[in-house]
Structure 1
Amino acid sequence: MTTPMSEINAFINAEKKRTENLIVHALSYLGELCVIEARDRPQEVSWIDRSGNLRSSIGYAIAHNGKILRYSDFTQVKQGNDGVKEGKTFAEEIARKFTNGYVLVVVAGMNYAELVEAMESKNVLASAELFARKKLPEMMSKLKSQLAP
């Protein structure tokens, strides 16, 4: 008894799609947690949110082999419309540079984000990066178990 190649190819394609969906879901979940960590802090432990642009520029992009698969919302805060645009553009620019495999890129897209962290000693993305580094091994382990036959 033999299985037609079309059935084998259909099975392989379905498994590839299932794998990609699980990976993107896991990376999206981690990205959302990082965005919450970076954006949703009270003013007392964060920077002063004058225009809303810096907070609006925080978000993420997921890419596979340089092709963007998903973005976060880049939700506008106050009058931070420029932040939304800058954040999404910056996330896309960085994510497209990774042409081999999957990547989650979390950004603060305003050009002064690094200055706020360095000069004002305020946490913009530092805690989100630490959070991601801590959470990633656990998430990868869970993902591996979901992908196992």
Structure 2
Amino acid sequence: MTTKLGEVHKALMKEAERVERLTVRALAYLGEQCVKKVRDRSGKESWYDQTGNLRSSVGYVIAKNGSIIQYSDFNQVKQGSEGVKAGKELAEELVKRFSNDYVLVVVAGMNYAELVEAMDNKDVLASTELWARNRLPKMLEKLKRQIAK
């Protein structure tokens, strides 16, 4: 009996690991698409870089139960090393608000990102957030199908 229980436990743990891999992969894909939508636009479509800090501060983290399990690349643009640091720090801070289950946090970490959207009427994260909220139900359905296999 003990052997069979051990085998069942081992099979359940293997399945749990598979579900986690699929979940993280789906969230990472959505996060990468969001980062690409924000970063890979011309100045006319978004904003014109002065220092590169705002564009460098764009990235994401994935966390499970409040612990970060994956970071995106916060790639430096121009001299935007301050943006890389600010983006990571903001993402790490925001994750602390979510202590249950999985979370994808996408950020533009410079403290003036909101100001660029409000004052200069430029799109930093707003349209990407709407796009991601629209994509999420489809992504979750696909994830459910993958898990059921």
Shorter-chain TM band: over 0.9
Q: Name the % identity.
A: 60
Matched, 1:97 2:97: yes
SS in 2 for 1:84: helix
**Contact 1:65 1:98 (C-alpha < 8 Å) held by counterparts:** yes
Residue 147 in 1 paired to residue 147 in 2? yes
Aligned length: 149
Instruction: Give SS of 2:78's match.
Output: coil
One-letter amino acid matched to 1:131: W
* TM-score (normalised: structure 1): 0.96
Residue 28 (1) aligns with residue 28 (2): yes
SS in structure 2 opposite 1:88?
helix
Secondary structure class of the residue paired with 2:141: helix
How far apart are 1:96 and its partner, in Å?
A: 2.4
For 2:67 and 2:96, how far apart are their aligned partners in 1?
A: 6
TM-score by length of 2: 0.96
Which residue identity lines up with residue 70 of structure 1 in the other structure? Q
What is the letter of the counterpart of residue 62 of structure 1? I
Contact 1:63/1:96 (<8 A) preserved:
no
Secondary structure of 2:44's match?
Answer: helix
Q: Give structure 1 regions of 4+ aligned residues with deviation exceeding 2 angstroms.
A: none
Aligned equivalents of 1:81, 1:136: Cα separation in 2: 31
Partner of 2:17: 17
Counterpart of 1:43 in 2: which secondary structure?
Answer: coil
Could you tell me which residue of structure 1 aligns to residue 135 of structure 2?
135
Q: For residues 141 and 4 of structure 1, what CA distance do their matches in structure 2 show? A: 33
Show structure 2 runs of 5+ residues with no match: none
Q: How well do the aligned residues superpose, as a CA RMSD in angstroms?
A: 1.3
Q: Distance in 2 between matches of 1:35 and 1:140?
A: 19
